[in-house]
Structure 1
Amino acid sequence: MPYLETVTDISPENLSRYDAIIDVRSPAEFEDDHMPGAINLPVLSNAERARVGTIYKQESPFRANRIGGALVARNIAHHLETALADQPKSWRPLVYCWRGGMRSNAMATILSSVGWPSGVVKGGYKTWRREVVTGLDHEDRLLPIRLIDGQTGTGKTALLQAIAEAGGQVIDLEGLAHHRGSAFGDFGEEDQPAQRLFESGIWDQLRRFDLTRPVFVEAESARVGRCRVPRRLWRSMLAAPRIEVRAPADVRADFLLGAYADIIEDPARLAEALARLKGLQSGETLAAWQELAAAGSYRTLAAQLMTRHYDPLYARSRKRREDAPVEVVELESLDEVALAAAARRLLSGH
């Protein structure tokens, strides 16, 4: 008899019992958001899902189910012959759809009939989404955030990475949002995730952390590019003690050249990023910066952007907070050795 398990516990520990988490929803649904680590093996394509939905509403639920059933069977057969063709007998998948209904049960029933012990997430994706919303929007307890703050070019993101490598708990909002949080922030070819997928990434990290220990986050605005920082995390960031990183101006300029090398190597992206500062800087200043960019005077450009744009912005934002840093990290270098040493010092104090 095929073995089919209904799964209500979606904790990381319970999910680790499965060899794969399969999202059988359409590619568009999957792209919008999905459970962490899931792979997309849709039983209906975007177009097929739209077609079946239209038939259901405009013609007949029975006809929609009949047509949809045939499409689902063909698509599952295709996955068995391709993506799942080499899975061993011991393989154990967990399947989910939107509500834990027809799509996931159809896939799981066939997989279990093959001989793979299969699970279905009760309530489907909506079970995961409820957990995310509860954890990030409805829960009022503040998180033990420690803000890594400092002027542009002080290596805050690199320091976060060093903290993580040293065993600290870190949420890299810029990494999760695929954006550096400034006019120069986009990652080029990599689009920003949908808001719900951004939130899923944050919650998946938080639910794995020990919240009796600090969680280090870079000081950001309420939005990182198009992604909004969830309510609970944002409130926690506003209330969090601030660790300020400082470095000499020449060190910061050199660091920026490396950190933004992808933009420097693309003249059109650099010109577009500078154009986004219209209204924040005079036309004369922006024209001068465009000339520096066109001439390849990138270090001079980086130094002027720091002193005339980003440093004044930073000073104004710090005045609004009206709180002194609880710790200052003075760095004469931003190389890996210096950042690793700073990370160890921060962790030893917490």
Structure 2
Amino acid sequence: MFKDLTIQELLEARKNKKITLIDVRSPSEYKTATIPGSINIPIFTDEERGEIGTIYKQVNVEAAKERGLEIVSAKLPQFIKEFSMLEGDRVVFCWRGGMRSKTSATVVDLMGIPVSRLQGGVRSYRRWVVKALEESNFTQDAFVLNGYTGSGKTTILRRLKKQGFPVLDLEQMANHRGSIFGQIGLTPNNQKMFEALLIEEMQGLENSPYFLIEAESQRIGKIMLPQWIMDKKENGIQFFIDMPLEIRALNILEEYRPWEHAEECMISFQKIKRRIHTPIAAQIEKDLELGRYESAVQMLLAYYYDPRYEHTASQYPKEKQMRLKVSNIEEAANAIRELMDSKLKIRQ
């Protein structure tokens, strides 16, 4: 018989061994929010779930259960095969630890495949996330990466993270780049998914005396950052990257590949068009229409993003600013790594 795990038992188990989490809810539920690191093996598709729900409302519970059993029976061989190919200790869950996860765990267990079920499902996990965020006491100092748009701040942070530096990559958790064009080519996470990723990243940095973070506004797409992050950002040591506009434009083109997302780029531009001097805005729009992306990006930087950045940068006290005049992302990453090393040696 399969075993039920509490949230705390699951968290402890994940520290010591490989756990494969399986979300058996429908694909749309999984995409909305799940437990980070889980995979989706749905017991019902979105359409099947909708059909069963309709029978439940319009006929009765028994009829809905019968239809559910018919659907599950037909797909059992493939369902079991997918479970059998997984590595590690398998833990299934649904929304609240109800029929879907119980049915899945039962049939998988009957086929001799070890499996556990998460009590309370995603709902109990979400409660744990909310409680953990409310009770968190993140005392580490912040080193904040600032820079003109296109300076490669996110790329630099990710390079430093690979080298072992403690980093909170907020844009990765939000799956959004932060600007009005930030969702292009991406599917942004919602608040629930962001917070789940955030608390897991925070727990991984519990033993670090500091962390690196990018200077974000409080909103990344539709994600709202918690106030404590904003406070850390405002009070941290500020690194300011100064990189040539032409290089920054090329960085943006390489990352965004606007020629592959022409319609999305134009839609995003329309949201800020009125904030740009009319003749300049008209030229940017024309460049976008004709695929002259390098020209469009350079003008957006010069007439929209750079002035906004300069206003924000002027708000920080001079004594907390460390300006780095660099030629490219590689040079910036090396300079920040050297500054971090020297700063940490002084503190020790």
Whether the TM-score (by the shorter chain) exceeds 0.5 is: yes
Q: Deviations over 1:25-49 (max 9, x none)?
A: 1112111111121111112222232
- The answer as to whether partners of 2:3 and 2:117 remain within 8 angstroms in 1 is yes
2:101 alignment partner, SS class? helix
Matched, 1:195 2:194: no
Corresponding residue of 1:339: 333
1:99 alignment partner, SS class? coil
- The answer as to whether partners of 1:27 and 1:45 remain within 8 angstroms in 2 is yes
- The answer as to whether partners of 2:24 and 2:92 remain within 8 angstroms in 1 is yes
Alpha-carbon distance between aligned partners in 2 of 1:249 and 1:22, rounded to the nearest angstrom: 46
- The answer as to whether partners of 2:92 and 2:115 remain within 8 angstroms in 1 is yes
Corresponding residue of 2:214: 218
- The answer as to whether partners of 2:24 and 2:42 remain within 8 angstroms in 1 is yes
Matched, 1:61 2:57: no
- The answer as to whether partners of 1:160 and 1:172 remain within 8 angstroms in 2 is yes
5+ residue gaps, structure 2: none
**Which residue, out of 257, 274, 277, partners 1:279?**
274
**Which residue, out of 134, 141, 163, partners 1:166?**
163
Q: Deviations over 1:296-338 (max 9, x none)?
A: 655554443223211211122334x444462414132224355
Matched, 1:146 2:146: no
Q: Given the superposition, is the C-alpha separation of residues 170 and 107 from structure 1 closer, same or farther in structure 2, using an over 3 Å criterion?
A: same
Q: Deviations over 1:143-182 (max 9, x none)?
A: 5333211222322112212211221122222233332222
5+ residue gaps, structure 1: none
Shift of 1:140: 5.9
Matches within 5 A, 1:112-191: 112-136=109-133, 138-139=134-135, 141-142=137-138, 144=140, 145-188=142-185, 190-191=186-187
Corresponding residue of 1:84: 83
Shift of 1:56: 3.3
Q: Given the superposition, is the C-alpha separation of residues 40 and 259 from structure 1 closer, same or farther in structure 2, using an over 3 Å criterion?
A: closer
Q: Given the superposition, is the C-alpha separation of residues 282 and 104 from structure 1 closer, same or farther in structure 2, using an over 3 Å criterion?
A: same
Alpha-carbon distance between aligned partners in 2 of 1:183 and 1:309, rounded to the nearest angstrom: 12
Corresponding residue of 1:328: 322
Q: Given the superposition, is the C-alpha separation of residues 230 and 61 from structure 1 closer, same or farther in structure 2, using an over 3 Å criterion?
A: farther
Q: How many residues align?
A: 342
The AA in structure 1 aligned to 2:309 is Y
Alpha-carbon distance between aligned partners in 1 of 2:168 and 2:86, rounded to the nearest angstrom: 34
2:273 alignment partner, SS class? coil
Shift of 1:130: 1.3
Alpha-carbon distance between aligned partners in 1 of 2:96 and 2:14, rounded to the nearest angstrom: 19
Alpha-carbon distance between aligned partners in 1 of 2:107 and 2:298, rounded to the nearest angstrom: 62
The AA in structure 2 aligned to 1:156 is K
Corresponding residue of 2:204: 208
RMSD between superposed Cα atoms in Å: 3.0
Shift of 1:64: 2.8
2:52 alignment partner, SS class? helix
Alpha-carbon distance between aligned partners in 1 of 2:322 and 2:132, rounded to the nearest angstrom: 31
The AA in structure 2 aligned to 1:93 is R
Q: Given the superposition, is the C-alpha separation of residues 235 and 310 from structure 1 closer, same or farther in structure 2, using an over 3 Å criterion?
A: same
Shift of 1:349: 2.3
Q: Given the superposition, is the C-alpha separation of residues 254 and 107 from structure 1 closer, same or farther in structure 2, using an over 3 Å criterion?
A: closer
2:145 alignment partner, SS class? strand
2:302 alignment partner, SS class? helix
Q: Structure 1 vs Structure 2: percent identity of aligned residues?
A: 27
Q: Given the superposition, is the C-alpha separation of residues 305 and 6 from structure 1 closer, same or farther in structure 2, using an over 3 Å criterion?
A: closer
Q: Deviations over 1:75-118 (max 9, x none)?
A: 4443114x235458xx6311111111221122112222222221
